[in-house]
Structure 1
Amino acid sequence: MKEKVQLFGRFLSGMVMPNIGAFIAWGLITALFMETGWCPNERIAQFISPMSSMLLPLLIAYTGGNVVAGQRGGVIGAIATMGVIVGSDVPMFIGAMIVGPLSAWVIKKFDKFMENKVKAGFEMLVNNFSVGIIGAILAIAAMYGVTPLVTVLNNAMEAGVGFFVDHGLLPLTSVFIEPAKVLFLNNAINHGILSPMGIKQVEEAGKSIFFLLEANPGPGLGILLAYCVAGKGSAKSSAPGAAIIHFLGGIHEIYFPYILMNPLLILATIAGGAVGVFTFNLMGVGLTAPASPGSILAIMMMAERHSYVGLILGVLLATVVSFVVAIPILKFMGKDASLEEAQQKKDSMKKQAKGIVESEAPKAATAGKVKKIAFACDAGMGSSAMGATVLKKKIAAAGIEGIEVIHTPVSSIPQDVQVVVTHEELGERAAHSNPNAQLILITNFLAAPQYEELVEQLKKQ
Structure 2
Amino acid sequence: MHVQKFGTFLSNMVMPNIGAFIAWGLITALFIEVGWLPQLGIGDDPGSWVAEIGGWGDSTSGGIVGPMITFLLPILIGYTGGKMVYDTRGGVVGAIATIGVIAGTDIPMFMGAMIMGPLGAWTMKHIDAIWDGKIRPGFEMLVNNFAAGIWGAVVATFGFFVMSPIVTWLSDRLGSGVDFLVSNGVLPLTSVVIEPAKILFLNNAINHGVLTPLGTAEAVEQGKSVLFLLEANPGPGLGLLLAFSLFGRGMAKASAPGAAIIHFFGGIHEIYFPYVLMKPKLIIAMIVGGMTGVFLNVLFGVGLRAPAAPGSVFAVYAQVASENIFGVTVAMAGAAAASFAVAAVLLKTDRSADEGDLVAATADMEAMKGKKSVASTVLGARAAAGAEIRTIVFACDAGMGSSAMGASVLRKKIRDAGHPEVTVTNASIANLSDTYDLVVTHQDLTERARQRTPSATHVSVDNFMNSPRYDEIVGMLGAGTGGTAAADDDVAAHAVLAEDSIVLDGTAATRDEAITEAGRLLVASGAVDPSYVDAMHERETSVSTHMGNGLAIPHGTNDAKSSIHRTAISFVRYPRGIDWNGKPAEFVIGIAGTGNDHLGLLRKIAGVFTDPAQVELLRSATSTAQVREILEGARV
1:4 aligned partner: 2
Counterpart AA for 2:445: G
Aligned with residue 400 of structure 1, among 418, 432, 443: 443
Describe the SS at the equivalent of 1:61.
helix
Cα deviation, residue 363, structure 1 = 5.4
Alignment of 1:294-309 (within 5 A): 294-309=311-326
* 2:250 is equivalent to residue 251 of structure 1: no
Residues 209 and 65 of structure 1: is their aligned pair in 2 closer, same or farther, counting only changes over 3 Å? same
2:504 aligned partner: none
Alignment of 1:283-302 (within 5 A): 283-302=300-319
Cα deviation, residue 350, structure 1 = 11
Cα deviation, residue 222, structure 1 = 0.4
* 2:288 is equivalent to residue 281 of structure 1: no
Structure of larger gyration radius: 2
Residues 43 and 373 of structure 1: is their aligned pair in 2 closer, same or farther, counting only changes over 3 Å? farther
1:172 aligned partner: 189
Counterpart AA for 2:231: E
Tell me the alpha carbon deviations over residues 345-366 of structure 1, each in whole angstroms, 9 at most, x when there is no partner: 99899999xxx9xx98985898
Cα deviation, residue 154, structure 1 = 0.7
1:193 aligned partner: 210
2:134 aligned partner: 117
Cα deviation, residue 399, structure 1 = 5.7
Tell me the alpha carbon deviations over residues 118-151 of structure 1, each in whole angstroms, 9 at most, x when there is no partner: 0000011111111111101111111001111111
Tell me the alpha carbon deviations over residues 207-228 of structure 1, each in whole angstroms, 9 at most, x when there is no partner: 0011110000000000000001
1:61 aligned partner: 78
Cα deviation, residue 369, structure 1 = 1.2
2:499 aligned partner: none
* 2:196 is equivalent to residue 153 of structure 1: no
2:254 aligned partner: 237
TM-score scaled to structure 1, two decimals? 0.79
Aligned with residue 429 of structure 2, among 369, 393, 397: 369
Counterpart AA for 2:240: I
Cα deviation, residue 333, structure 1 = 2.0
Describe the SS at the equivalent of 1:16.
helix
2:151 aligned partner: 134
Cα deviation, residue 5, structure 1 = 1.4
Tell me the alpha carbon deviations over residues 43-86 of structure 1, each in whole angstroms, 9 at most, x when there is no partner: 32011111001000000000000000000000000001111111
In 1, the alpha carbon distance for the partners of 2:179 and 2:391 equals 52
* 2:19 is equivalent to residue 21 of structure 1: yes
TM-score scaled to structure 2, two decimals? 0.58
Cα deviation, residue 255, structure 1 = 0.7
Name stretches of at least 5 consecutive residues in structure 1 with no aligned partner.
Answer: 375-393, 405-416, 421-436, 441-449
* 2:289 is equivalent to residue 272 of structure 1: yes
* 2:77 is equivalent to residue 79 of structure 1: no
Describe the SS at the equivalent of 2:337.
helix
Counterpart AA for 1:451: T
Cα deviation, residue 13, structure 1 = 1.0
Tell me the alpha carbon deviations over residues 219-259 of structure 1, each in whole angstroms, 9 at most, x when there is no partner: 00000000011011121111111111111111111111111
Tell me the alpha carbon deviations over residues 303-335 of structure 1, each in whole angstroms, 9 at most, x when there is no partner: 011110100000000000100000111111262
In 1, the alpha carbon distance for the partners of 2:367 and 2:264 equals 34
1:414 aligned partner: none
Aligned residues of 2:246 and 2:253 also touching (Cα < 8 A): yes
Identity value in percent: 50
* 2:41 is equivalent to residue 43 of structure 1: yes
Aligned residues of 1:74 and 1:100 also touching (Cα < 8 A): yes
In 2, the alpha carbon distance for the partners of 1:40 and 1:145 equals 39
Name stretches of at least 5 consecutive residues in structure 2 with no aligned partner.
Answer: 44-62, 373-387, 396-426, 462-468, 474-557, 559-636
In 2, the alpha carbon distance for the partners of 1:277 and 1:234 equals 32
Cα deviation, residue 188, structure 1 = 3.3
Aligned residues of 2:290 and 2:335 also touching (Cα < 8 A): yes
Aligned with residue 104 of structure 1, among 121, 126, 129: 121
Cα deviation, residue 156, structure 1 = 1.0
In 2, the alpha carbon distance for the partners of 1:141 and 1:351 equals 39
Aligned residues of 1:373 and 1:403 also touching (Cα < 8 A): no
Aligned with residue 31 of structure 2, among 30, 33, 37: 33
Counterpart AA for 1:400: Q
In 1, the alpha carbon distance for the partners of 2:392 and 2:439 equals 16
After the TM superposition, which of the residue ranges 364-373 and 31-40 deviates more from structure 2?
A: 364-373
Tell me the alpha carbon deviations over residues 385-442 of structure 1, each in whole angstroms, 9 at most, x when there is no partner: xxxxxxxxx999x8611343xxxxxxxxxxxx8756xxxxxxxxxxxxxxxx6562xx
Residues 364 and 402 of structure 1: is their aligned pair in 2 closer, same or farther, counting only changes over 3 Å? closer
Aligned residues of 1:174 and 1:213 also touching (Cα < 8 A): yes
* 2:511 is equivalent to residue 451 of structure 1: no
In 2, the alpha carbon distance for the partners of 1:173 and 1:229 equals 29
Counterpart AA for 1:330: L
In 2, the alpha carbon distance for the partners of 1:16 and 1:253 equals 18
* 2:109 is equivalent to residue 92 of structure 1: yes
* 2:235 is equivalent to residue 203 of structure 1: no
Aligned residues of 1:371 and 1:403 also touching (Cα < 8 A): no
Tell me the alpha carbon deviations over residues 173-231 of structure 1, each in whole angstroms, 9 at most, x when there is no partner: 00000001111233333222211111000110000011110000000000000001101
In 2, the alpha carbon distance for the partners of 1:186 and 1:157 equals 17
In 1, the alpha carbon distance for the partners of 2:364 and 2:40 equals 62
After the TM superposition, which of the residue ranges 189-198 and 295-304 deviates more from structure 2?
A: 189-198
Residues 99 and 372 of structure 1: is their aligned pair in 2 closer, same or farther, counting only changes over 3 Å? farther
Q: CA RMSD in A?
A: 3.5
Q: How many pairs are equivalent?
A: 397
In 2, the alpha carbon distance for the partners of 1:217 and 1:248 equals 9
Residues 144 and 337 of structure 1: is their aligned pair in 2 closer, same or farther, counting only changes over 3 Å? farther
Residues 93 and 126 of structure 1: is their aligned pair in 2 closer, same or farther, counting only changes over 3 Å? same
After the TM superposition, which of the residue ranges 99-108 and 360-369 deviates more from structure 2?
A: 360-369
Aligned residues of 1:26 and 1:51 also touching (Cα < 8 A): yes
Residues 232 and 43 of structure 1: is their aligned pair in 2 closer, same or farther, counting only changes over 3 Å? same
Tell me the alpha carbon deviations over residues 255-313 of structure 1, each in whole angstroms, 9 at most, x when there is no partner: 11111111111100100110100000110110011111111011001101111010000
Tell me the alpha carbon deviations over residues 76-113 of structure 1, each in whole angstroms, 9 at most, x when there is no partner: 00001111111101110000000110000111001111
Counterpart AA for 2:38: P
Counterpart AA for 2:246: V
Residues 67 and 454 of structure 1: is their aligned pair in 2 closer, same or farther, counting only changes over 3 Å? farther
Counterpart AA for 1:13: S
Aligned residues of 1:365 and 1:438 also touching (Cα < 8 A): no
Aligned residues of 2:392 and 2:439 also touching (Cα < 8 A): no
Aligned residues of 1:34 and 1:42 also touching (Cα < 8 A): no
In 1, the alpha carbon distance for the partners of 2:450 and 2:322 equals 47
